[in-house]
Amino acid sequence: MQFFQLQKEKLIAPDIYQTSFEGVLFLKRTQHSDQRGWYCELARIKELNQVLPQPFIVQQINLSNSQTKVARGFHAENWSKLITPLGGECLSVLADFRVNSPTYKQILAFKLGESDQENPEALNGSIFVPPGIGNSFLVTKGPLYYLYCVDALYKERDASGDLAISLFDPELEVEWPINKNEMIISERDLNSITLQQKITQNQN
């Protein structure tokens, strides 16, 4: 399973990194701490838009709260989103469902959270996800607050691009760190079909 890592050669703008998936970007977050607590900039949209093919204009901001062992996904929509986990730790796995993409059916994983001695590989930041990329995460240390900004109102979006694919699709080969029977999953996600089943449905 391929994990994203910060590399200088992938830096395309201040604190913005290109990933192996076209259009998927990682925005590094730096926290400034003192005796009061800390402050950080989650994203600078003007700088983000300078490296995007079209402007990302936020229309709706969503927030979910999940406990340890909660798993959500894979969900893909016909919109772009900027994902920012706040507090806690999670394994975020993206899957490329774009048929014409060179990374079609591939996955890319991120260990997100506060980097420290116990979790030195954790990344502190946000992920920009374009349309057609399936998004999922498993909370490894909760509670996790999952903030995501999207460029369309949910009630007005083009739902034709909505896609829900199984977290356990054997073709995607995600190596989840805990067993399926230990996860806390919604009925919708638990009953999601595989990508191949979805392709077959579309052909019929």
**Contact of 105 with 95, CB cutoff 8 Å:** yes
Contacts of 96 by beta carbon, 8 Å cutoff, 6+ apart? 21, 103, 104, 105, 106, 107, 108, 132, 133, 134
pTM of the model: 0.94
Residue 170 covered by a domain: yes
CATH number at residue 63: 2.60.120.10
Residue 118: band (very low, low, confident or very high) from pLDDT cuts 50, 70, 90: low
Q: For 10-62, how does the pLDDT look when each residue is reduced to its tens digit (9 = 90+)?
A: 999 999 999 999 999 999 998 888 999 989 899 999 999 999 999 999 999 99
Q: For 185-196, how does the pLDDT look when each residue is reduced to its tens digit (9 = 90+)?
A: 999 999 999 999
Residue 1 covered by a domain: no
User: How far is the C-alpha of 97 from the C-alpha of 133, rounded, in Å?
Assistant: 6
Tokens of 110: 């991120």
Residue 16 covered by a domain: yes
Residue 48 covered by a domain: yes
**Residue 79 carries which side chain, given as an amino acid letter?**
W
Residue 79 covered by a domain: yes
Residue 102 covered by a domain: yes
Q: Which residues share a beta bridge with 142?
A: none
**Structural domain boundaries, residue 166:** 8-31+38-203
**Contact of 78 with 98, CB cutoff 8 Å:** no
Residue 2 covered by a domain: no
Residue 13 covered by a domain: yes
